[in-house]
Amino acid sequence: MKPKILIIGACGQIGSELTFKLRQMYGDENIIASDISYNNAEVVNSGIFEILDAQDFKALALCIEKHKVKTVYLMAAMLSATSEKFPLKAWDLNTQSLFHVLNLAKSGVIKHIFWPSSIAVFGPTTPKENTPQHTVMEPSTVYGITKQVGERWCEYYFNRYKVDVRSLRYPGIISWKTLPGGGTTDYAVDIYHKALSDGHYECFLTANTKLPMMYMEDAISATINLMESDSKTLHIRSSYNLAAISFTPQDVAKEIQKHLPEFNISYIPDFRQGIADSWPKSIDDSQARSDWNWSHQYNLEAITKDMLTQLAPRYK
Ligand code: NAD
């Protein structure tokens, strides 16, 4: 019998694509998708689905018992831009949900956990270019604080209780299937939709704001590769730096113009500029590349081509 996997936050941008991939790999009957609401019909209707609040320990424990779950991917969280509006809610959701799964693993109910961190763990005092795995980490955003604290607890539970928890510091994730959920890098998805629908995009970051980014296919394969790696090869139990490419809004606009020459962009930075300015511009992920052979496939040219091809039928 294959081990049962629970995905929490399965209707979200990354959770949804992870669910589709895991269902394909391990069979629909072994993957339990869950979310606090039915906000992604494709996820809800294409396999086992449960309504589950990640902050409700009892409900979580019951769901795990009911489906004999051994592995949990905890994808529910409040993202960077929304967290600045609701700091205490962000703190509660992002930390309580993690404690719940860590404690279920500590007591032996589940065996493996994936929990995503973010480049938001870094702050204004962190070296901005080629940010090392181990460096100054003084996040200045609510979201970054919740992720940094989460990393410390993951490492602690691994060292103290031998909990097999694995984590990646995702950069901004670009995808076409599901819209992003309130992050600072959301512009890099919105821009493709607006290029096709309006021929114009008003960007909430400045033209030269360089940030680390990754295409969804690469993020999903990194996540699954990490989870399938031999535990002995993993030297990081806080969270691995993970990188693909770095670019600015202007770089994306130029790449889109190669396909849609009429496309134009304007820049009206809002509060998200401050968040972006506190983050690294590029990431050194050599530890992930050497520990579990991580490598990315998509550069900006390939991302742009695929995004426009996949989204074009929606705007015909
Ligand atoms: P998202 O906002 O698109 O999805 C989150 C999902 O969690 C939503 O479907 C939401 O309904 C669900 N959710 C919210 N509260 C819940 C609760 N109490 N119980 C159960 N479900 C709940 O987020 P995402 O972009 O898919 O991100 C997934 C994870 O990856 C998060 O931990 C996020 O911090 C991390 N991450 C994402 C990015 C990115 O660019 N998308 C970058 C870095 C890290």
Residue-wise pLDDT tens digits, 193-225: 999 999 999 999 999 999 999 999 999 999 999
How far does residue 60's CA lie from ligand 1's centre (Å)? Answer: 17
CA distance 190 to 116: 22
The answer to whether the CB of 79 is under 6 A from ligand 1 is yes
Residue 99: pLDDT over 70: yes
Paired sense of beta strands 112-114 and 31-35, if any: unpaired
Ligand 1 pocket mutation pick from 170, 226, 285 by most atoms within 8 angstroms of CB: 170
**Rg (the chain; Cα; Å):** 19
Taking 90 as the threshold, does the pLDDT of residue 316 lie above it? no
Whether pLDDT at 2 is above 90: no
Task: Out of 38, 73, 143, 157, pick the active-site residue.
Answer: 143
Taking residues 270-291, report their average pLDDT.
97
Ramachandran region of residue 213, left (φ > 0), alpha (ψ -120 to 50) or beta? beta
Does the pLDDT value for residue 164 go beyond 80? yes
34-52 mean pLDDT: 97
CB 84 within 8 A of CB 142: yes
Tell how far CA 22 is from the center of its chain: 16
Residue of minimum CA distance from atom 15 in ligand 1: 76
Q: Residue 151's pLDDT band (boundaries 50, 70, 90)?
A: very high
pLDDT band at 1, cuts 50/70/90? low
Residue 181's pLDDT is what? 86
User: Residue 290, class by beta-carbon neighbours within 10 Å (0-12 exposed, 13-18 middle, 19+ buried)?
Assistant: exposed
> Residue 3's pLDDT is what?
80
**Is 94 near ligand 1, meaning CB less than 6 Å away?**
no
User: What is the mean predicted confidence (pLDDT) over 148-161?
Assistant: 98
Q: Is 150 in the pocket of ligand 1 (CB under 6 A)?
A: no
Closest-CA residue to 238 (of 167, 137, 171): 167
Task: Report d(CA 244, CA 289) in Å as an integer.
Answer: 11
Instruction: Please work out whether the CB of residue 39 comes within 6 Å of at least one atom of ligand 1.
Output: yes
- Rounded to an integer, what distance in angstroms lies between the CA atom of residue 185 and that of residue 275? 10
Answer yes or no: is pLDDT of 130 > 70.
Answer: yes
**82 CB under 6 A from ligand 1?**
no
Measured in angstroms, how far is the CA atom of residue 297 from the centroid of ligand 1?
Answer: 24
Per the structure block, which two tokens stand in for 145?
Answer: 């604080």
Q: What is the mean pLDDT of residues 71-86?
A: 97
Give the distance (Å) from ligand 1 centre to CA of residue 62.
22
**What mean pLDDT comes out for the span 53-77?**
98
- Is residue 184 scored above 70 in pLDDT? yes
Per the annotation, the verdict on 143 as an active-site residue is yes
List the Cα angle 224/235/284 in 5-degree steps.
75
What is the predicted pLDDT for the residue at 106? 98
Is the CA virtual torsion 130, 136, 141, 142 positive or negative?
Answer: positive
- At residue 279, the pLDDT reads 97
237 contacts 155 by C-beta, under 8 angstroms: yes
Query: Among the residues of the chain, which ranges form H helices?
Result: 13-26, 41-45, 57-67, 80-85, 87-106, 142-161, 187-197, 216-228, 249-259, 272-277, 286-292, 300-311
Q: Do 283 and 222 touch, CB atoms closer than 8 A? A: no
Mutate to test the pocket of ligand 1, among 16, 20, 36 (most ligand atoms within 8 A of CB): 36
Q: Which domains does the chain have, with CATH numbers?
A: 5-171+215-241 (3.40.50.720), 173-213+244-315 (3.90.25.10)
Secondary structure of residue 71 in the 3-state scheme: strand
Mean pLDDT of all residues in 32-37: 98
Banded pLDDT at 101 (limits 50, 70, 90): very high
* % helix, strand, coil for the chain, step of 5: 45, 15, 35
Contact 154, 237 (CB under 8 A): yes
Model confidence at 166: pLDDT above 70? yes
Q: Whose CA is nearest to atom 8 of ligand 1?
A: 12
What is the per-residue pLDDT for 187?
A: 97
